[in-house]
Structure 1
Amino acid sequence: MGIVGPPIGGFLSQRYGFRTMFATAGALYLTATCLRIYMAARSRRVGSATYHAPQRMTLAALKANLSSMVAILLAGGVVTWLFLSDGASDIAFTVANHFDPVYQSNVIGLSTITITWVSATFSIVRMVVLPLGGWFADKAGERAGICLGHLLCAMGAAVFLVGTQFIHFAIVSVLYGVGSALFSPAYDSLISKAVPSKIRGTAFGLVSTSLGIMSLPAPYLGGLLWNSFGPRAPFLLPLLSSAGMALLLWIKLPARGRRDPAAAAEAPAVVEA
């Protein structure tokens, strides 16, 4: 939907109004939710050697899993640095992303349809490059994929700050798409090696929830920066965050993640940096 969704949304909003666009989006989200529920129910009926049997959902099990994850996050190893770096990047890009359409429309003067194609370009590039990102992480190591991805995002943020035409923002989307396609598989690979499989779902859920909570004030912060220092101010954060994370993680992460023997034995474990 990230590929065809933005252009369709732009067309519907311009041709039929925003109410029709939101109604269409709601119907599509409802359909997707039903499909996900069906897939989840079906996966429970189909056995697989790849995944462990689902645990019974109890408060005691949730508390135990969360305790294990908190211990891993606070241990100062790879998971700690991945969590901190992902949090910093998420906050920085949340600050900026909420103002992308406003900046491109009101400051640069791009049309609604043009802005949607900028967004679609990111999704197209990410989809194409994502398999190569996984291959790159396997061949060069997760650290190389993560740091190169952040470096490309920093370059994209720099181009965004000086961009004045559609082609400039299309280049930004290409750089962001390639960068995201490089570091996303590497992040997931390191987490899968550092976290026992029985709490891996809890790990991803806890990280996503924590990042969402930390990002709550980001739009307000972006508005303050816009009003206080000008419309380009919010977009400095992705540049600083991505460049800083590329350097920091190159120092803190191992060249290649190693599956901890304790993790393989289903015990809480930490991959040391």
Structure 2
Amino acid sequence: MLLAFLATWAHCWLVFRWLSTSTPRSFSTWQLSCSCLDSVGLGYLQTTFGVLQLVGGPVFGRFADQFGARAALILSCASGSAFFLLTSISTSIPLLFLSRLPAVFMHGLPGAQKLITDLTTPSQRTDALGKLGLCFGIGIIIGSALGGVLSTKFGLTVSCFLPLTCINRVLINRSSSVGTSQSGNMFSIREILRLMKFPGVMEVFIVKVFAGLPVGLFLIMFSIISMDFFGLEAVESGYLMSYFGVLQMVVQGLVTGKLTNHCTERTLLRLSVFIFAGVGLGMALMRTVWHYCIVAVPMVFAFGTLGTITDSILTKAVPSSDTGTMLGICASVQPLTQTVGPTIGGVLYKHFGVSSFGYLQLIVNIGLFVYLLKSKIPLREMKSQ
């Protein structure tokens, strides 16, 4: 399990390092070499990445169920290596778009989650899944801090990222393989959608998608909001990313596990939705970046708790042979937000301002909270031992 954490950390470091070096400042090099790729073209590029991740999540999960978690993690790391290699040598717009194709199988987190679900009992699962948040927190902090420095000294070259991806694959090759040897078509949409018919799966998945959607739209627009609304510079935005990374490490690595010892998953699900409603009110009223830093604390808590609890609930609601597919479906939620987010978020921000994200968050989560109070969603109630 420790190797799974280390492999996921290395994968996350790479992702956040790429994100930190893909700011408009460093991306201008690509723009000049790619016939002046404008903001519209950049939007198409980001949408392409989101769509590939959205489509690839469930397929990657099916692959993990059929061939095991180790094979899935190796596939993810190989895809990541190809992604960064093609990105570093992209000298034209077609090649830049082509470099996004390996992202369809670049799903390190669902692969590590699959391994965790195979190696833990249901009562231990929530705590173990929560600790994976430590990997992302470390990835955000180190990626944000070192990405700019390394790109300045070495540039976006193969030598900057291939050593870590090789280490990643070595760690995975030393881990145990847990396969289910499933039969069936890996690309079968019917087999993927079949999981939604299990008791409680559709209801919990709907809550997972919509509870954090308004905040997700806000975060997608944050690069613009941080400059126009908060008046932040790029360096200050980087500090905020590190701040969020620390919060995520604390919440998912320490707080969530402790809460599962005292509260049922149904209670934590309702609590995270209720806190999300309060976050919406805070977002509607905030006016300065300091207000946002305060609102970020319950926001990260709600995000981390909701994601961990829903992943745990959904993997327990399906047979053990289908946990990879279920995790792949869950992993498609964020790419879905990234795909539709720029359009919806842009309309909200342009016509209704920053407060519209908060009011939408408040309304949606009040409705979901009432729904969770009145509905009888069948859950396997248990606390961590």
Report the TM range for the smaller structure's normalisation.
0.7 to 0.9
Conserved? CA contact 1:157–1:238, under 8 Å: yes
Equivalent residue, structure 2, for 1:229: 352
Q: What amino acid is aligned across from residue 180 of structure 1 in structure 2?
A: F
Distance 1:160 1:4, change over 3 A: farther
Of stretches 97-106 and 108-117 in structure 1, the one that deviates more from structure 2 is 108-117
Displacement of 1:238 in angstroms is: 3.0
1:202-213 → structure 2 map (5 Å cutoff): 202-209=325-332, 212-213=335-336
Deviations 1:160-203, CA, capped at 9 Å, x for gaps: 23222332111122111222233233222212321111111111
Separation of aligned partners in 2, 1:150 and 1:28: 40
1:65-214 → structure 2 map (5 Å cutoff): 67-75=190-198, 77-130=199-252, 131-209=254-332, 212-213=335-336
Separation of aligned partners in 2, 1:141 and 1:28: 44
Conserved? CA contact 1:114–1:166, under 8 Å: no
Separation of aligned partners in 2, 1:39 and 1:123: 24
SS at match of 1:223: helix
Kindly tell me the number of residue pairs found equivalent between the two proteins: 243
Conserved? CA contact 1:141–1:256, under 8 Å: no
Displacement of 1:30 in angstroms is: 5.0
Separation of aligned partners in 2, 1:256 and 1:99: 35
Distance 1:227 1:97, change over 3 A: same
Separation of aligned partners in 1, 2:299 and 2:153: 26
Length-normalised TM-score, structure 1: 0.72
Length-normalised TM-score, structure 2: 0.54
Q: Which of 369, 372, 378 is 1:246 aligned to?
A: 369
Separation of aligned partners in 2, 1:201 and 1:220: 31
Distance 1:194 1:29, change over 3 A: farther
Conserved? CA contact 2:276–2:299, under 8 Å: yes
Of stretches 155-164 and 204-213 in structure 1, the one that deviates more from structure 2 is 204-213
Give structure 1 stretches of 5+ with no counterpart. Answer: 260-273
Deviations 1:17-69, CA, capped at 9 Å, x for gaps: xx7499569976655544443333333xx36xxxx43427x7x24267x6454
Q: What amino acid is aligned across from residue 5 of structure 1 in structure 2?
A: G
Equivalent residue, structure 2, for 1:2: 140
Separation of aligned partners in 1, 2:236 and 2:185: 49
Of stretches 133-142 and 110-119 in structure 1, the one that deviates more from structure 2 is 110-119
Conserved? CA contact 2:285–2:355, under 8 Å: no
Separation of aligned partners in 2, 1:149 and 1:188: 14
Conserved? CA contact 2:284–2:357, under 8 Å: no
Conserved? CA contact 2:311–2:330, under 8 Å: no
Separation of aligned partners in 2, 1:25 and 1:168: 39
Distance 1:229 1:183, change over 3 A: closer
Identity %: 19
Q: What amino acid is aligned across from residue 279 of structure 2 in structure 1?
A: G
Displacement of 1:79 in angstroms is: 1.2
Separation of aligned partners in 1, 2:329 and 2:338: 14
Separation of aligned partners in 1, 2:161 and 2:203: 34
Separation of aligned partners in 1, 2:351 and 2:230: 19
SS at match of 2:311: helix
Equivalent residue, structure 2, for 1:264: none
Separation of aligned partners in 2, 1:81 and 1:29: 40
Separation of aligned partners in 1, 2:306 and 2:285: 25
SS at match of 1:2: helix
Separation of aligned partners in 2, 1:154 and 1:62: 38
Q: What amino acid is aligned across from residue 6 of structure 1 in structure 2?
A: S
Conserved? CA contact 1:96–1:238, under 8 Å: no
Equivalent residue, structure 1, for 2:133: none
Separation of aligned partners in 2, 1:98 and 1:209: 16
Distance 1:104 1:256, change over 3 A: same
